[in-house]
Structure 1
Amino acid sequence: MMKKLFFLFALGIATSTCIAQDQSAQSESRQSAGSDGKNLVKLNLLSLPLRNISLGYERQIGGKTTAGLGFRVMPKGGLPLKSTFSNLIDDPETDRQLDELEIGNVAFTPEVRFYLGAEAMRGFYLGPFARISSYNVDMPFEFDVNGTTQVMPLSGKLNTFTGGLQIGAQWRLGGKMYLDWWILGPQYGSANGSIDGKKTLNAQEQQELRNELQDIEVPFAETTTTVNASGARLDIKGPWAGLRAGLCLGVRF
């Protein structure tokens, strides 16, 4: 009888100790997260060479869940990664027009992240996101009429809405500094917009301009061309796809 009582007493002490240690570890984890802060602001380093300023804000809303918002702006200028677009399009005429293209954009990206490790803001994560983007375009479009080059000044806007899943990982570098690696973020959605220009055109000029505008190819989307005596319009509508990737340096507070 005494042996049984001693065994139960020892088992109770061991169980109590384990529970206390587990609660202590959870408390330390919560205190650590609290001392580091629930907010993180970051800058995408890989976007800077592409003339993009990409900023992000992330806030812990649960044990291993965060919500965030990204903001990206690109001042108007030449097309980044023009060679990549040229390879996708594979059309010499369109490639020539891209040389004169100037483009700028603004994008907002709300996101929710689910971390797979022990706590939020550290380790691998899955992040469903949406992206709302607006592109401003200026394109002096060159076309040939009887061996003479003419220019139609086109400008306009393209709006896109996509959704996707970001796969990534985030590490603490030291102190309050963090590194966020957007490994792969495929996205898909729709695009809608138009570019147009005003210029007086005779019948032959209209036909030559129409023929060359119809040769323009926009990856994924469809284009519709309208040309008349007072100018031209190129409507763009259809699916839109892309990849989200980056390497961000952040500060937690």
Structure 2
Amino acid sequence: MNIIKTNVTAYAFRNINLSYERAINQWFSLNIGFGTMTQGKVPFINAFLKDEDEKRFQNLRVKATNFTIEPRFYIGKGYGRGFYFAPYYRYSDVSSNSFDFYYDYDAIDGNTYQIPLKGQGSTSGNSGGLMVGVQFFLTRSQNLVLDFWIAGAHYGSGKGDFTMTSNYVLTPEMQAQLKQEIENLDIPFVDYTVETNANGAKIKVDGPWAGFRSGLSIGYRF
């Protein structure tokens, strides 16, 4: 038994995706999926950045890809139908466009100067998780499939590099303030370190990588 599916709810987040499930026996199948998010605004960016910080990233755009290997253990009727538990591995990659960023430099003369920078970078992660779902065969011929991902979560580690460059030569005082501004963004679920130099800053991502899964897929069984 083979099933080709796509998660229709993911299209609301620009995620074009396709998965293939192959039943090995009555209780076990293997599902392999691929998805790509076209370049656009960061979903839910206002949920983890303050309003004043979000304004600094107004032209930030990202794109992403993911690849998932998902063994499924069915506890219902089997052969791809009923409730299932699915431990899974996921590889994810996220990259940005060349975006504008600025910070306010408080000079020793008492004035405040807006320092513009250009940023760009990418990061990737490997993670493992568990999902619970239920799959139905909808028609009499049992060709049309509905796959409901009830809930899933994964956790792992990610690494990446982002650079920010300025047309200005940054003094040590300007570098110190830039470093503090980036560190104060305090982006949740992301561990990063900041190094500054006369040309700008380098941000190294190295830490946890987590995510959640839920959705509704439509497929064809053959």
1:82 touches 1:98 (CA, 8 Å); kept in 2? no
More helix by share: 1
TM-superposed deviation, 1:101: 2.1
1:235 aligns with 2:204: yes
Q: Deviations over 1:35-92 (max 9, x none)?
A: xxx1101111111011111211100111221101110101111111233334xxxx44
Structure 1 residue ranges, 4+ long, deviating more than 6 angstroms after superposition: none
More strand by share: 2
Q: TM-score normalized by structure 1? A: 0.78
Long gaps (5+) in structure 1:
1-37
Q: Residues 105, 126 of structure 1: CA spacing in aligned structure 2 closer, same or farther, 3 A cutoff? A: same
Moved more, 142-151 or 189-198: 142-151
Structure of higher CA gyration radius: 1
Could you say which residue in structure 2 is the equivalent of 1:202? 170
Note the aligned Cα RMSD (angstroms). 1.6
Could you say which residue in structure 1 is the equivalent of 2:101? 141
Mapped to 2, the partners of 1:60 and 1:239 lie a distance apart of: 33
Could you say which residue in structure 1 is the equivalent of 2:40? 77
Could you say which residue in structure 2 is the equivalent of 1:16? none
Aligned residues: 212
The amino acid that maps onto 2:176 is: Q
Query: Match for 1:153 among 118, 122, 129?
Result: 118
Long gaps (5+) in structure 2:
106-110
Mapped to 2, the partners of 1:121 and 1:143 lie a distance apart of: 54
2:170 touches 2:199 (CA, 8 Å); kept in 1? no
Mapped to 1, the partners of 2:69 and 2:213 lie a distance apart of: 13
Q: TM-score normalized by structure 2? A: 0.89
The correspondence of residues 86-235 of structure 1 with structure 2, limited to 5 A, is 86=49, 91-138=50-97, 139-145=99-105, 146-174=111-139, 175=141, 176-199=143-166, 200-203=168-171, 204-235=173-204
Please give the secondary structure, in 1, of the residue aligned with 2:123.
Answer: strand
TM-superposed deviation, 1:98: 4.0
Percent of counterpart pairs with the same letter? 34
Higher relative contact order (CA 8 A, sep 6+): 2
2:133 touches 2:149 (CA, 8 Å); kept in 1? yes
1:58 touches 1:67 (CA, 8 Å); kept in 2? yes
Q: Residues 236, 93 of structure 1: CA spacing in aligned structure 2 closer, same or farther, 3 A cutoff? A: farther
The correspondence of residues 18-37 of structure 1 with structure 2, limited to 5 A, is none
Mapped to 1, the partners of 2:96 and 2:190 lie a distance apart of: 16
